[in-house]
């Protein structure tokens, strides 16, 4: 794990110093003082390094929350869950604002979409939706949330994570309530 952290830290350091396109695996390895073989033990390429950073900083905390909160408590925890996502991004805002500029935000939105899809899949498994609806719902919410974060970063995080969370939940919570099993528990 020390190699993984060294590579991640080196990527962050290099990303502060140069554009994404100029960061090579050779530079990362040299800065991290690790061999290319050690690099490839953990990562397929530099995008995989970024993906691991995004996953660890943004996705893992909410994933643990989802796994520990009973489904009938989701309404009260959804605000916490979404705000955790946005707060994690906000804590490292310079990194994510800069990352959002790589390929006009395509890389970050892609990585966030994959992470959010993973979270949504964990949530939707308890909802017993038809498979086609489940597949499209978790994609819709992942992409819309990732695009919203991209816009927030484009605007230099001009509103707080709590405000962005409030807006996202205002726009999406009705759907989750409509499909929630045991709706009577919510009333």
- Output the pLDDT for position 146: 96
109 and 165, same domain (yes or no): yes
Q: How far apart are CA 183 and CA 35, in angstroms?
A: 55
pLDDT in tens, 15-46: 999 999 999 999 999 999 999 999 999 999 99
Residue 13 φ/ψ, nearest 5 degrees: -60, -50
87 and 175, same domain (yes or no): yes
Specify the CATH number for the domain of residue 24. 1.10.10
In a domain, 165, yes or no: yes
- Output the pLDDT for position 21: 97
* Number of structural domains the chain divides into: 2
103 and 162, same domain (yes or no): yes
Q: How far apart are CA 123 and CA 70, in angstroms?
A: 10
Q: How far apart are CA 142 and CA 174, in angstroms?
A: 16
Query: Structural domain of residue 124, as residue ranges?
Result: 70-186
Quick one: which of 103, 104, 26, 14 has its CA closest to 53?
14
153 and 78, same domain (yes or no): yes
Name the residue with higher pLDDT: 9 or 175.
9
Is pLDDT at 161 greater than 70 in this prediction? yes
174 and 82, same domain (yes or no): yes
74 and 160, same domain (yes or no): yes
83 and 152, same domain (yes or no): yes
In a domain, 12, yes or no: yes
pLDDT in tens, 145-159: 999 999 999 999 999
Write the secondary structure of 167-180 as one string of H (helix), E (strand) and C (coil): HHHHHHHHHHHHHC
Is pLDDT at 173 greater than 80 in this prediction? no
In a domain, 50, yes or no: no
pLDDT in tens, 48-106: 999 999 999 999 888 887 777 665 555 556 678 888 999 999 999 999 999 999 999 99
Average pLDDT score over the chain:
88
177 and 136, same domain (yes or no): yes
- Output the pLDDT for position 178: 72
Is pLDDT at 133 greater than 90 in this prediction? no
CB 46 within 8 A of CB 25: yes
């Amino acid at each position: 794990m020390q190699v993984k952290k060294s590579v991640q830290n080196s990527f962050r350091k290099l990303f502060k110093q140069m554009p994404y396109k100029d960061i090579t695996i050779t530079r990362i390895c040299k800065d991290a003082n690790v061999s290319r073989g050690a690099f490839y033990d953990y990562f397929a390429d530099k995008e995989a390094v970024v993906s691991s950073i995004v996953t660890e900083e943004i996705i893992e905390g909410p994933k643990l929350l989802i796994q520990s909160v009973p489904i009938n408590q989701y309404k009260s925890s959804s605000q916490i869950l979404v705000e955790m996502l946005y707060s994690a991004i906000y804590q490292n805002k310079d990194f994510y604002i800069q990352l959002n500029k790589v390929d006009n935000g395509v890389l970050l939105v892609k990585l966030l979409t994959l992470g959010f899809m993973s979270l949504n899949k964990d949530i939707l498994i308890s909802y017993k939706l038809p498979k086609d609806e489940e597949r499209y719902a978790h994609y819709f919410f992942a992409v819309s949330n990732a695009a919203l974060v991209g816009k927030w970063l484009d605007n230099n995080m001009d509103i707080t994570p709590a405000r962005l969370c409030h807006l996202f939940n205002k726009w999406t919570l009705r759907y989750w309530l409509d499909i929630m099993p045991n709706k009577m528990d919510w009333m």
